[in-house]
Amino acid sequence: MIASTNTIIVAVKELQSGMYVSELDRPWLETPYLIQGILIESQNDIDVLKHYCSYVYVDIDRSEPSIIHKISAQLEPQAPGDTAVLQQPPQFNEPPISASLHSNQSHVAPPSARDLEILEKLAPRAMTYSDIRTVEQELPVAEKAYSAITALFSDINQSLEHHNKIDIHTAHEVVNTLCESVVRNPDAALLLAQLKTTGEELYDSAIKTSVHLLAFGRHLGFPRKELSILGLGGLLMDIGKLRLPKAMQNKRSLTLKPDERKLMKQHVLFGEDIIAPLSDTPGDVLKIILQHHERENGSGYPHGLHANQLHTYGRMAAIVDCYEELITEQSGIPGLKPFHAIKELKENAQNGLNYILVEQFAHCIGMFPVGSLVELNTGEIAIVLTHNRTQRLLPSVMIICDAKKAPYDNPVTIDLRSADPGPGGIQYAIAKDLPQGAYGIDAKKYYL
């Protein structure tokens, strides 16, 4: 393993918050880390690494500035070109300041034995999926699948209004079409989920949940059959809301009054009433419906289940549900940007979300999800087009506005990993994410 002159070898037990781990003592593919590079922000990160590695390589240049001089003071002198070795862990009088997702990790409980057990269960079943189409190639197919699943949900709604049973077999077939698209390249469906609307919030939410669970399962390497279950479960997860008063169906938690909140919780059992009697419903789909509001610590509903009673799909659905709640605008209150939503999910792992799966979901969608509007370090505005699976901070983007925010006549697509320098010789990078609609930009017109 080659390390640069700005890299030091550190025993995992001697890692400190603020260090950036650039390489491991084994291939990344032999660990649950599906992106390369870890910024150590808490004992949680160290505990998980201990489970897989004895020593790691720390990149000084990418570590937090507040600790670089403390690290440097403890390095054993080396011959030019050699890798430095940290002889003693640095001592801190105060915690380093962090601007990363883990900035408040001191409030999060360390990974439990159950968390590590989940990792061990996921590893043997994991498949490696490759993108076999580009987003541009897959987008027309994904749009057809998206339209079919929208029509399906409309049919489901009409069936319930007329007290008819839902055709689960047909629903499964339609979801399979979307699943195949996600297997080929998830970014096309994720892009549509970010930008496309039907005008019916409940429909949009159901489709987004289905897409996110499919992408999440693909990221974890679940077999094709299991992905189909996740997609169907995501679509039907909130079907019980169709039995709520129309005025409540699209309400989010921030806008509910106490009596409405109590009624809203009934949607889970309403969903069970609708789906459980159908003989061809996969049992794991029902688990997703019943458990997406349960929590590891027993604080959830409807049954107050604890960690050892929860199915992995239920845990995943809970994370996706919380994420979409956080990023969705509620009665004029803007939703959180994805970066901040993921940060809050991690902080709330203490309240019952599974920490390890939250980490994996963060890796799945990235800090800058597909369809996000971002500002580059050149001042130009771009839309995130597709992720680089191992370097999600360096996606492919479509640059649509110049530094003065004036639209380009001909937008340019670049891969931030390999792009030539931009205006002024600056190497392209994302400076910050932007809310949808910033500077009056309608991202949909570039894709849909």
C-beta atoms surrounding 440 within 10 Å = 7
State which residues form the domain around 41. 1-90
Query: The domain spanning residue 217 has which CATH number?
Result: 1.10.3210.10
Answer whether 111's CB lies under 8 Å from 32's CB. Answer: no
In the predicted model, is pLDDT for residue 426 greater than 90?
A: no
In terms of pLDDT, which residue wins out, 2 or 395?
395
Provide the strand spans (E) within 60-149: 84-85
Q: Are 280 and 382 members of one domain?
A: no
Q: Which residues, 6 or more positions from 163, have their beta carbon under 8 angstroms from its beta carbon? A: none
Show which of 71, 90, 109 is a domain's final residue.
Answer: 90
Instruction: Tell me the per-residue pLDDT of 17-35, one tens digit each, with 9 for 90 and over.
Output: 888 888 887 767 667 665 6
Q: What are phi and psi of 153, to 5 degrees?
A: -65, -35
Q: Same domain, yes or no, for 399 and 350?
A: no
Q: What pLDDT, on the 0 to 100 scale, is given for residue 5?
A: 46
Mark whether 378 and 333 lie in a shared domain. Answer: no
Same domain, 316 and 432: no
Residues 243 and 281 in one domain: yes
Q: Which of 72-76, 127-131, 151-155, 346-350 has the lowest mean pLDDT?
A: 72-76
What is the C-alpha separation between 448 and 140, in angstroms, rounded?
10
Token pair for 234: 């995501």
| pLDDT for position 99 | 31
- Rounded Cα–Cα distance for residues 399 and 278 (Å): 49
Specify the number of domains making up the chain. Answer: 3
Helix 186-195, helix 201-220: angle, nearest 10: 160
Residue ending a domain, choose from 35, 70, 90: 90
* C-alpha 256: how far from chain center: 26
| CA 272 to the chain's CA centroid | 27
Q: Tell me: the pLDDT tens digits for 41-98?
A: 888 888 888 887 887 888 877 777 766 656 655 544 444 444 444 433 333 332 222 2
Query: Mean pLDDT over residues 367-371, rounded?
Result: 85
| pLDDT value for 258 | 86
Interstrand relation of 84-85 and 7-11 (parallel, antiparallel or unpaired): parallel
* Size of the chain, expressed as the number of residues it contains: 448
Q: Which of 365, 383, 407 is the last residue of a domain?
A: 365
Q: How far apart are CA 45 and CA 318, in angstroms?
A: 22
Lowest mean pLDDT among 79-93, 282-296, 341-355, 434-448: 79-93
Mean pLDDT of the chain: 81
Averaged pLDDT, 223-240: 95
Torsion (CA) 202, 208, 211, 212 in degrees, nearest 10 = -120
Strands, E, within 306-446: which ranges?
A: 373-376, 381-386, 396-401, 407-415, 430-434
Question: Can you read off the two tokens belonging to residue 142?
Answer: 């994904």
Q: What is the pLDDT of residues 143-188, one digit of tens each?
A: 999 999 999 988 998 998 888 889 999 999 999 999 999 999 999 9
Cis check for the bond before 302: say yes or no (omega within 30 of 0).
yes
Task: Look at residue 195 and tell me if it is in a domain.
Answer: yes
| 107/49: higher pLDDT | 49
